[in-house]
Chains A and B, each alone.
Chain A
Amino acid sequence: MKRLMLALSLTLSAAALTPAPVLAGATDTDEERAARWSEIKASIFGDRKVEASESAVKIDAPVRALDAALVPIGLTLADKDSVKGLYFIIDDNPSPYAAHFTFGPAADPGEIKMRVRVNNYTNVHAVVETKDGRLLESAKFVKASGGCSAPMGMSDEEAMKGMGEMRMKFVGDVQPGKPAEATLMVRHPNFSGMQMNQITRDYTPARYIQKLDVTYGDKLVFSLDGDISIASNPVINFAFKPEGQGPIKVVASDNQDGRWQHAFPVPAASN
């Protein structure tokens, strides 16, 4: 509920600023940004302590986004064996809480890549949750504007084509004892709820992937709670421990009861 209210208040203030939201956020002071982050932190983590640690998680993001509707983000985790989960937050997005990964025993959580929308000049934060319950944050400033309200395609109908289709690409050979890299691609418009229809003056209702569960054999690789800040046609790069049996299974569900499931055979090691 807290999160919903936060999203709402930010949306309203953005609306009040029209017609000049392009540079909104660009002029915020460091104090204002810090205050916003404190507010967001409290809404997500309550009164838990979040320690600054630039070394625990490194954020790779373009300083200035070429395409605000598709901003590539790389997160590198220093001490991957101690990691339980990973949060990614885009402070000035209408719904800042972008993604939460929970890693399972089949994960090799050294690096995660994904694509997000960035609506404004904003700080982005990554927060690592360790197995012993610590929260470690790092931040980066990104310049972009309009990613959430920018229409993604030419029409809603077109954006819905092939919804739920998936691909999995494996990088190189999968060899026992060596973490294997993979890229999961999901066709889904991930409507942000901020894209306006000109005739009805209505917004295309938010429709986004809420949950992605990736398992290998009977073990969890990761579970992702997603939100409207994930770019359309989500693509996630991750790594797993190639010790499972059988295919990698992906179950995706969205906030409108869409549910899709696919299984991908893991390529055998070529000797």
Chain B
Amino acid sequence: MNAPVTRRAALFGGFCLCCLPRAGFAVDAMTMEEVAPGTFIRRGFDAEATPENADGIANIGFIIGRDGVLVTESGGSLADGQWLRREIAQRTDKPIRYVMLTHVHPDHVFGAAAFRGDNPTFVGHASLRGALDARGAFYRQRLAEILGEERAGEVVYPTMEVKEGAEIDLGDRTLRLTAHGHAHTSCDLSMLDTGSGLLFPADLLFVGRIPSLDGSLLGWFKEIERLKAVGATDAVPGHGPTRVAFAPAMADLARYLSALRDETRKAVASSLPIETAVRTVALGEKDKWALFDTYNGRNVTQAYQELEWE
């Protein structure tokens, strides 16, 4: 695909490509924000994967602990992961000990290949392996079509699998991991940093960018309750600003998911066909989310398939 600059690519995240210092990759213009002492996050573009953004569309970053570095999210491609690795090297020479693979989606796992040489522990949900089996090759191919073979990356499997919960000790802090039930996907892993008190819900929390549903809508509500019970004040969402107040951000997400659930249920109950439902459900949310038109119809399709079996 030789997609030059699409309109969508040119508009994302407040960046505009024409203002970049050179006609290079947008990912080069990204910067890390220190959201807590020793905790650095880069905001992803609110866009789909393009050659310019190198699929750097998720919030990725790292925590520098006493004994080493934990990568909170690896990036959306080998190129994105390599960029992150350089950012780490500029700030610490401590070893990269852990790389989180928060779920199966390409914008969260294809950066992992950039860290192979560091021989870290790749941490994932116990169901991630099966999900990568089913989808990894497909995602990689699609990514390679957009970015080119050499920039896409490889499928990396978790070497530490979390079934329910686990703890990682970085010396000065403990990271508490939770393997979630079906929600955003079938393999969502969240993390609480006891050092900073920050919650890393990964894509169980979208802020500003429309959530995408690929697991279970009803399950997502259950996992929201579990995340609330953690009691964290602030969170680093999978997409959106690098640090947000947890409660209001999660309330926004729950509001969208509620509209999706309630209006899809109504559609199913009144025998409104799926092709009509995708055009009518949750339209009240349209102006509240980036990429609404790209994802809402798909979310309705997912929700409809789940709720029609209720």
Question: Given A66, A183, A201, which contacts B298 in the complex, CB threshold below 8 Å?
Answer: A66
A20 in the interface, Cβ–Cβ < 8 Å? yes
- Shortest C-beta distance, A210 to chain B (Å), equals 22
Q: Which of B221-275 contact A (CB under 8 A)?
A: 271, 273-275
Query: What chain B residues lie within 8 Å of A233 (beta carbons)?
Result: 305
A158 in the interface, Cβ–Cβ < 8 Å? yes
Total residue contacts A-B, CB cutoff 8 A = 84
Across the two chains, which residue of chain B brings its CB closest to A61?
B275
Bound-state CA distance A150–B271 (Å) is: 28
Query: What chain A residues lie within 8 Å of B134 (beta carbons)?
Result: 151, 153-156, 195, 197-198
B290 in the interface, Cβ–Cβ < 8 Å? no
A34 in the interface, Cβ–Cβ < 8 Å? no
Query: What chain A residues lie within 8 Å of B305 (beta carbons)?
Result: 70, 233
B286 in the interface, Cβ–Cβ < 8 Å? no
Q: Evaluate contact between B138 and A113: CB separation under 8 angstroms.
A: no
A169 in the interface, Cβ–Cβ < 8 Å? yes
Contact with B along A86-120 (1 / 0, CB 8 A): 00000000000000000000000000010100000
Contact with B along A1-42 (1 / 0, CB 8 A): 000000000000000001110110000000000000000000
A67 in the interface, Cβ–Cβ < 8 Å? yes
Contact with A along B277-294 (1 / 0, CB 8 A): 010000000000000000
- Shortest C-beta distance, A26 to chain B (Å), equals 11
Q: Evaluate contact between B271 and A183: CB separation under 8 angstroms.
A: yes
Bound-state CA distance A183–B215 (Å) is: 24
- Shortest C-beta distance, A262 to chain B (Å), equals 14
Most buried by B among A67, A115, A150, A201: A67
- Shortest C-beta distance, B129 to chain A (Å), equals 9
User: Chain B: residues with CB nearer than 8 A to chain A?
Assistant: 1, 104, 127, 130-138, 141-142, 144-145, 149, 155, 185-187, 215, 271, 273-275, 278, 297-298, 301, 305, 308-309
- Shortest C-beta distance, A98 to chain B (Å), equals 17
Known: A19-B149, A149-B138. A155 touches B301 (CB 8 A): no
Question: Given B127, B155, B271, B298, which contacts A154 in the complex, CB threshold below 8 Å?
Answer: B127
Q: Evaluate contact between B273 and A154: CB separation under 8 angstroms.
A: no
Q: Which 4 A-B pairs have the closest CB atoms?
A: A155-B130, A154-B186, A72-B275, A66-B297
Bound-state CA distance A158–B215 (Å) is: 11
Q: Evaluate contact between B273 and A197: CB separation under 8 angstroms.
A: no
Bound-state CA distance A167–B305 (Å) is: 13
Query: What chain B residues lie within 8 Å of A60 (beta carbons)?
Result: 275
Query: What chain A residues lie within 8 Å of B149 (beta carbons)?
Result: 19
Known: A20-B1, A66-B298. A237 touches B273 (CB 8 A): yes
Q: Evaluate contact between A155 and B131: CB separation under 8 angstroms.
A: yes
Question: Given A151, A185, A187, which contacts B135 in the complex, CB threshold below 8 Å?
Answer: A151
Most buried by A among B131, B134, B142, B185: B134
- Shortest C-beta distance, B211 to chain A (Å), equals 16
Q: Evaluate contact between B137 and A196: CB separation under 8 angstroms.
A: yes
Q: Evaluate contact between B309 and A167: CB separation under 8 angstroms.
A: yes
Query: What chain A residues lie within 8 Å of B275 (beta carbons)?
Result: 60, 62, 72, 74
Q: Which of A150-199 contact B (CB under 8 A)?
A: 150-151, 153-158, 167, 169, 171, 181, 183, 185, 187, 195-199
Query: What chain B residues lie within 8 Å of A127 (beta carbons)?
Result: none
A124 in the interface, Cβ–Cβ < 8 Å? no
A235 in the interface, Cβ–Cβ < 8 Å? yes
Bound-state CA distance A19–B140 (Å) is: 11
- Besides A60-B275, A196-B137, 14 more A-B contacts (Cβ < 8 Å) are A19-B141, A19-B144, A20-B1, A22-B1, A72-B274, A74-B273, A151-B134, A153-B134, A155-B127, A155-B130, A155-B134, A167-B309, A195-B138, A237-B273
Query: What chain B residues lie within 8 Å of A196 (beta carbons)?
Result: 137-138
Known: A66-B278, A154-B185, A171-B271. A18 touches B141 (CB 8 A): yes
Bound-state CA distance A20–B127 (Å) is: 30
Query: What chain B residues lie within 8 Å of A195 (beta carbons)?
Result: 134, 138
Contact with B along A40-80 (1 / 0, CB 8 A): 00000000000000000000101000110010101000000
Across the two chains, which residue of chain B brings its CB closest to A73?
B275
